[in-house]
Structure 1
Amino acid sequence: MIKIRFIDLFAGIGGMRLGFEQAADSLNCKTECVLASEISADCQWVYQNNFNHEVLGDIRAINQLPPHDFLLAGFPCQSFSYAGKKAGFGDTRGTLFFEILRLIDTCKPQALIFENVRGLYSHDQGKTLATIKHEIKNRGYSFDTFLLNSSNFGLPQNRVRLYMVGILGVSPKFELISDVGSPDSHSYNCQQLSLFNPLSKPVAVANILEDNPDSKYDCSPEFVEALKTRLNNNLTQLHGRRLIDYRGGNSLHSWELGLRGKCSPEEIELMNRFILKRRNKVFGRHQDGKLLSREQIASFFNHPHFDQILDSLVAKKYLQVVDCKYKPVSGNFSFEVYKFLDSRKISVTLVASDANRLGIYHNHRVRRITPREAARLQGFADDFILHFNDDKAYYQLGNSVSINVVKAVARDVILNTLPCQSANKSLIPLNSLSGG
């Protein structure tokens, strides 16, 4: 039996490792992790408790890699993310990619598997990815990229991530193809067949929900009562609703819920018109709308008590004044939950910053999803040990990879790396890999 030695850089809580080990096991290969590196002490705790493996810290303190066959790295994504500043290689975190290259030069593996955010694909008009490709190919590797959505791999989450793979001295033929899936979680049809797993069962949020989680995950009575009042006691209307103060659409707003003070119908009408009209091109082209003057607001809200209504909204802190112009006070961080999932659909992308504020209305309870449910969205088995601090667990899971996707990518890379015999691709040992 073949034994594949691998290295796990920027290991997090071990998602890349789990997916890789599952892929190797499905191909009757043994694995040995010869080095793992992760700078976060909290992630190290989770990794060590699940894998009983000592984890090295800062990658910059590693001088040389031991002999290995595969290199896994989910290198930091913040500098490439749509949610970040998009500084790329101008950001210190972005330059950590060059630390990977430095270590590859000390001991070239047979294959590389990298994971990052979707934004890296188009960052700086593709120049950042072109730089990565150049550096990898310059070292004798092939270079292929795949944009893959977790919802196509048996997980009820609309999560698109970029996978970059390279094989030394080989021109691989992959079965994987890029597929970003549904444009959003609402348009996903849980009955549709996956391009990658046509015989798999459809997935939906309902599949990952716990029946009776701890009451600590329940939303506050005050928040629930505000929701009931706004929705005329029909809490099923929460399915798929977002709570945000600078967008319209299928949203609930703080002024409609009275979170900073009860609003009159006229105040609610002004606020709803404000967030809609401020995005009109006549007021500017800023994505989330411009700050508006009192005169601009009056142009679409003609009311005999206009001044009093506007001043009242400022006093209640639904609006703030900046240079004599008005804007909503905040986005979604003023809510206990920023998005209620629809159990019949898939989840929005789990992200580190607010994974702890995804909600669900389930079994007549208005609550946040639990860390275990978040782990299930990422494909972690229920026996995986999560961090004992819930907030840290949510953060780690939002930063993690989707196990099922890594497994599919790793399986395809392994099959392209190891020689095969017969139509079913039975593996035979390769000299460059460890013997079983």
Structure 2
Amino acid sequence: MKFYKGELFSGPGGMAKGAQEASVVHPETGEKFHIEHQWSNDFDRDTCRTFGKNICGSEEEPSVHYGPVEQLPIGNRDVLPDIDCLAFGFPCNDFSLVGKKKGMEGKYGPLYSYGVKAVQAYEPKFFIAENVGGLKSANEGKAFLQILNELEECGYVLTPHLYKFEQYGIPQARHRILIVGIRNDLHEEGIHFKVPAPTTPDNYVTSKEAIIDPPILHFSLNHEFPKHSQKVMDMLSHIPPGGNAWHPDIPEELQLKVKGARLSSIYKRLDPDRPAYTVTGSGGGGTHMYHWEENRALTNRERARLQTFGDGFEFIGSKESIRKQIGMAVPVRGAKMLFEAVLKTFAGIEYDSVAPDPAVQLENLRNKQTNKEIAEELAGLI
């Protein structure tokens, strides 16, 4: 069975690559269940070129639509043909725990509605929606409840869950809410999605393992080494693995003269014995993730390893554009894990599963008495 996929807010192709790599063969019939790209959209030109080159084989692939989602002709089958599944990782800027948390009142908050519009227009067999953990408590919890309500009203059974990707073999502590929706009629026929059980709950893949095994060849794609001032390199030399710019061993003349909050990720080195902290795509000096041993920031290829992109996946654009693309992506292995669970669901193949987080289930949220109560319950998940 082949599922044609549409994708909004596609990023460089982490979700799409995971879907492309996911496949299931029914053990008795031999039928193959897999997913094929149909169309996608993103508002960033470099991102679309990266997606086209790696997912479709061409930087100028016409099925990869560059431009604001507001201008995308959702529902026009001549431009965006019918699909069997939809993925949309709507922008997280207004829901992020490290941002201003404007939620629905921000520039990006309402963009989830285009995912709802696409679900209504195409009625796919299933969809997967992704966003950051901070979505849970945005607008005192009202944002998350509103999104779930609207998706359910489209005619879908929802299974939201907070996935901690380090528990699934990804070498990074990246926590994301993913919502799987199965169309009501299919659910009634027995297609019941279950949250796949963690595969590495106690045996994490470390950042060091991800970066050095196998070694990254010096001529690898997107592996240009960063340049730093002597002062920055001298400061890094006093920061131990896992430490940051506020470590007490840094001599006074090398310390940062910053007032206010001391963010833990500033000039923070990786801990080689643990998964990396979250790879991000924005931020100025000191936020580029730093090697546990060498006095430098990571290369883009090293960051891509932490996001589980293969070394043959080529990112297009400037170094800073590529850094942004990598930081905004869904880890490839995480997406593959989730799509394979959905495919097994359709194939009727059993797999290890766990109960979804009760705090993000729609019925439980509706039973809360106040918005404040919702927000407190959701915020307590992380």
Q: CA deviation at 1:112?
A: 0.9
Higher alpha-carbon Rg: 1
Q: For residues 39-76 of structure 1, what are the alpha-carbon distances to aligned partners after superposition, in whole Å with 9 as ceiling and x for unaligned?
A: 10110121122123331122222221421110000111
TM-score of the superposition, structure 2-length normalised? 0.76
Q: State the 1:102 CA deviation.
A: 2.0
Letter in 1 for 2:99: G
Counterpart position of 2:305: 376
CA distance in 1, matches of 2:22, 2:233: 44
Task: Select the residue among 150, 162, 174 that pairs with 2:165.
Answer: 150
Q: Cα distance, 1:116 vs. partner?
A: 0.2
CA deviation after TM superposition for structure 1 residue 32, in Å: 2.4
- Whole-angstrom CA distance in 2 between matches of 1:330 and 1:405: 32
Q: Quote the residue 1:207 is aligned against.
A: 209
Q: Which residue of 2 aligns with 1:50?
A: 54
Q: Which residue of 1 aligns with 2:369?
A: none
Contact 1:360–1:366 (Cα < 8 Å) also in 2? yes
DSSP-derived class of the 2:151 partner: helix
Conserved 8 A contact 2:24-2:343:
no
Letter in 2 for 1:401: V
Aligned to 1:62: 72
Residue 199 of structure 1 and its aligned partner are, at CA, apart by 9.8
8 Å CA contact retained: 1:241, 1:251: no
Q: Which residue number in structure 2 is paired with residue 136 of structure 1?
A: 151
* Amino acid corresponding to residue 233 of structure 2 in structure 1: V
Provide structure 2 residue ranges, at least 5 long, that are not aligned to the other structure. Answer: 27-31, 353-382
CA distance in 2, matches of 1:223, 1:349: 22
Give the match's secondary structure for 1:243: coil
Displacement of 1:14 after TM fit? 0.8
Number of aligned residue pairs: give it. 323
Identity of aligned residues (%): 25
CA distance in 1, matches of 2:81, 2:249: 54
Name the amino acid aligned to 1:220.
Answer: S
1:290 corresponds to: none
Partner Cα separation in structure 1 for residue 179 and residue 242 of structure 2: 32
Mapped contact 2:103–2:143 kept (Cα < 8 A): yes
SS of 1:33 mapped into structure 2: strand
Whether 1:258 aligns to 2:258 is: no
Tell me the residue number matched to 1:31. 35
The 1:252–1:369 alpha-carbon spacing in structure 2 relative to 1, beyond 3 Å, is farther
Q: Confirm whether residue 21 of structure 1 aligns to residue 20 of structure 2.
A: yes
Alignment partners' CA distance in 2, 1:356 and 1:42? 22
Partner of 2:179: 164
Alpha-carbon spacing, 1:387–1:145, altered in 2? closer, same or farther (3 Å) = same
Residue pair 2:90, 2:130 contacting (<8 A) in 1 also: yes
Shift of 1:338: 1.6
| Cα distance, 1:44–1:196 mapped onto 2, change above 3 Å | same
Deviations along 1:317-345, one digit per CA (max 9) or x if unpaired, are x47xxxxxxxx278569x9x621112111
- 1:103 CA drift (Å): 2.5
Q: Residue 241 of structure 1 corresponds to which residue in structure 2?
A: 243
RMSD after superposition: 3.0
Which amino acid is the alignment partner of residue 45 of structure 2? A
Moved more, 392-401 or 26-35: 26-35
Match for residue 327 of structure 2? 398
Q: Does 1:222 align with 2:226?
A: no
Q: Secondary structure at the match of 2:37?
A: strand
Residue equivalent to 1:82: 97
SS of 1:95's equivalent in the other structure is helix
Write the letter of the residue equivalent to 1:243: A
Per the alignment, do residues 25 and 9 of structure 1 end up closer, same or farther by CA in structure 2, a change over 3 Å counting? farther
Residue 149 and residue 103 in structure 1: after superposition, are their counterparts in 2 closer, same or farther (change >3 A)? same
Q: TM-score, normalised by structure 1?
A: 0.67
- Structure 1: distance between partners of 2:248 and 2:7: 41
Provide, for residues 341-395 of structure 1, a one-character-per-residue CA deviation record: whole Å limited to 9, x for no partner. 1211121111112496211143xx3121111110011110110002342211111
Shift of 1:419: 4.7
C-alpha distance 404-77 of structure 1, shift in aligned 2 (>3 A): same
Contact 1:10 1:76 in 2 (8 A): yes
Structure 1 residue 166: deviation in Å? 0.6
Provide the rounded CA distance (Å) in 2 between the counterparts of 1:167 and 1:125.
Answer: 27
Give the distance between the partners of 1:62 and 1:25, measured in 2 at CA: 32
Counterpart code for 2:168 = F
SS at match of 1:367: coil
Q: Which moved more, 1:31-40 or 1:121-130?
A: 121-130
Amino acid at match of 2:13: G
| Residue identity in the other structure for 1:197 | T
Question: 1:93: Cα distance to partner?
Answer: 1.2
